[in-house]
Amino acid sequence: MDPADFERASRGLIAQHPTGVIQGAWGTAWDVNKYDFIEQGTPNPDTVNPSLWRQAQLNNIHGLFEVAPKVWQARGYDISNITFIEGDTGWIVIDPLTIEGCARDCLALANQQLGERPVTAVIYTHSHTDHFGGVLGVTTQEDVDAGRCRVIAPEHFLREAISENVIAGFAMARRAMYQFGPLLPAGPRQHVDCGLGKAIPLSPPGLIAPTEDITHTGEELVVDGVRIIFQLTPETEAPAEMNFFFPDRGEGGGGWLCMAENCSHNMHNLIPIRGAQVRNSLAWSKYIDEAIDLYGDETEIMFASHHWPRWGREDVNGFLRKQRDMYRYIHDQTMRQANHGLTPLEIAEVIALPEEYRTEAHTTGYYGHLAHNVKAVYQRYLSWYDGNPANLWKLPPAEVGRRYVDLAGGADALLAKARQSFDEGDYRWVAEVAGHLVFGDPGNTDARELQADAFEQLGYQSESATFRNAYLTGAQELRNGSPNRNPAMRRGYLDAMTVDQLMDATAVRLKAEEVGGVDVTVNLRFSDIGADWRVVLSNRAMHTTAGAAADADADVVLDRSVLIQISSAELTADTAIETGRAVVDGDADAFRAIFDHLDVFMSMFPIVEP
């Protein structure tokens, strides 16, 4: 591992947050002091993989850093970085973190140390929450609407942000509890890191829709006097993502290169364990190669949306080449084995990272994991199904669990065998076998404790922070039960969504079993935005299309804010009608038919038990 990483991660430190504690909507959202037990230069506890301990030390370095004259980053106050570029009249902010509080405090730190400036532009590098969710901490919708602040993003940003964070948002938010471990207390036996950064802040995100889309590689903008050349990189780390280059800013005749989240100081996910669209590892490697061709010879400094920068053309290009080669290696070797007929589980056991990658921290799986990435590549080309008909339509886990327990000769016999395997250190097998008993009989305390013990051992050994967090969260919930369930809302994104996006998110909540035989068409006429949309409910499916229908069952005049409140379950159709916020001309029951049969999703559904 390169010892220079510690110098890179510390270089240019100007100041630190005065307390390290940042407040959010739910109270304390961030506290760097929780991780004081991770001291630089100390040996790892026996409950933390030594390689992960090193990464945790690096991610513990926090503050406001000068990257180069007129570019600064605040790191360590969110899982991601916020970057400040000095423009002619104000700040250009790149990636305003996950939540408003973290972004606001980082902007305040920059203003205090560097001189106060207005935010004249925000650039979202890609469509993941930790790169836009804090935007309201650096600007306002009013400033954006008035043209005082530009919001720039890759094309399809809003579509992809909503697809991931709203359409699948309820399930993904729960699964993210396992990936990031926010409910684990900080400590050597619990949470130490997330690999990609220290942790995620606990507070709801927000969103302001982009005002400008980048549509092609080579597109140039002058933003507050700063020239920027963009490189679109769709289907890489995010479905909508872009790198960009500042050609006029280097001191040695070159420029600065922002690699977004396409390059970081670890192996990334090709599909995160929280869930997402599977990423295109072949395209990912090719886009890094394109960035080398386009900007490599001119780049003096490379910075990204996570971790620390690289300085000097030789160092930057060496880093980029190995990142490029790693994603290509995983892609090609996975598909090589797939074409020999190996299944994802088999390929994950035979592919290992060779020495060229194991000697570099930035190609080590602290956030991604090779075994998981292999399965992602396979899934992209060949689906989840491994081709064996025995796996084509398997029984659900609870039924499988009961049958395995019976096959083993009962719960006591299964537990005896599992304990023997535990004593032999065969923790992966124990986790699987004990899991059958937990799903067959979730009240079996001995089974829950044994599987939790196995999960802990797997977590302590894991080099991947996300695998560690998942194992330890699973152990915690086996011992203490799942957290209390409450109605789950994703209100923070709705104000930025288009009408069709709002209705697509609403359609996912339709209780199809309640609307058999219903066939209605309703025109929604939005008086505040001057737009008409028609909603059709037929054959237990809901469709929304721009424009009014001539033969609708009802015309409903309302503001877009009413639709937002209905979509977030804050308002019912009846209440909207009764209070005059929705004025119906025609059959009011048609309007009710569409909006009175919506499911309410509950947070914290069980994962390690049925």
Say how far apart CA 493 and CA 450 lie, in whole Å: 41
**Contact predicate 363/357, CB 8 Å:** yes
The pLDDT-based confidence of 603 (bands split at 50, 70, 90) is confident
> Which CATH fold topology does 491-595 show?
Nonspecific Lipid-transfer Protein; Chain A (3.30.1050)
For position 488, what pLDDT does the model report? 65
38-67: per-residue pLDDT in tens?
999 999 999 999 999 999 999 999 999 999
Among positive and negative, which fits the CA dihedral 133, 138, 140, 141? negative
Percent of the chain exceeding pLDDT 90 equals 93
pLDDT surpasses 90 at 163: no
Helix (H, G, I), strand (E, B) or coil at 183: coil
Domain ranges of the chain: 4-327, 394-480, 491-595
Supply the mean pLDDT for the chain: 96
Say how far apart CA 189 and CA 441 lie, in whole Å: 28
338-390: per-residue pLDDT in tens?
999 999 999 999 999 999 999 999 999 999 999 999 999 999 999 999 999 99
The pLDDT-based confidence of 602 (bands split at 50, 70, 90) is confident
Say how far apart CA 226 and CA 148 lie, in whole Å: 16
C-alpha distances in Å from residue 453, one per residue of 436, 438, 450, 461: 15, 13, 5, 13
String of b and e for 20-37 (b: at least 16 CB within 10 Å)? bebebeeeebbebebbee
264-284: per-residue pLDDT in tens?
999 999 999 999 999 999 999
Helix (H, G, I), strand (E, B) or coil at 163: helix
The pLDDT-based confidence of 472 (bands split at 50, 70, 90) is very high
Q: Which residues pair with 520 in a beta bridge?
A: 537
**Contact predicate 103/30, CB 8 Å:** no
Torsion of CA 351, 463, 94, 2, to 10 degrees: -90
The pLDDT-based confidence of 489 (bands split at 50, 70, 90) is low
Hey, what CATH class is 4-327 in?
A: alpha beta
Strand order in the sheet with 212-214: 13-15, 63-68, 71-75, 82-86, 91-94, 119-123, 150-154, 212-214
Q: Which long-range contacts (CB under 8 A, 24 or more apart) does 70-73 make?
A: 70/249, 71/246, 71/249, 71/256, 71/301, 71/303, 72/12, 72/14, 72/110, 72/114, 73/303, 73/309
Task: For domain 394-480, give the CATH number.
Answer: 1.25.40.880
Owner of token pair 């020495």: 355
For position 546, what pLDDT does the model report? 97
pLDDT surpasses 90 at 138: yes
For position 170, what pLDDT does the model report? 87
Q: What is the pTM of this model?
A: 0.95
Query: What DSSP state is assigned to residue 482?
Result: P
pLDDT surpasses 90 at 167: no
Mean pLDDT for the stretch of residues 128-157: 98
Torsion of CA 388, 393, 396, 397, to 10 degrees: 0
Bridge-based pairing of strands 310-311 and 520-526 is unpaired
SS3 string, 414-462, reads HHHHHHHHHHCCCHHHHHHHHHHHHHHCCCCHHHHHHHHHHHHHHHHHC
Mean pLDDT for the stretch of residues 157-163: 92
Percent of the chain exceeding pLDDT 70 equals 99
Written as six digits, the tokens of 319 are 């880093």
Q: Which residues pair with 71 in a beta bridge?
A: 68, 85
The pLDDT-based confidence of 490 (bands split at 50, 70, 90) is low
**Contact predicate 344/386, CB 8 Å:** yes
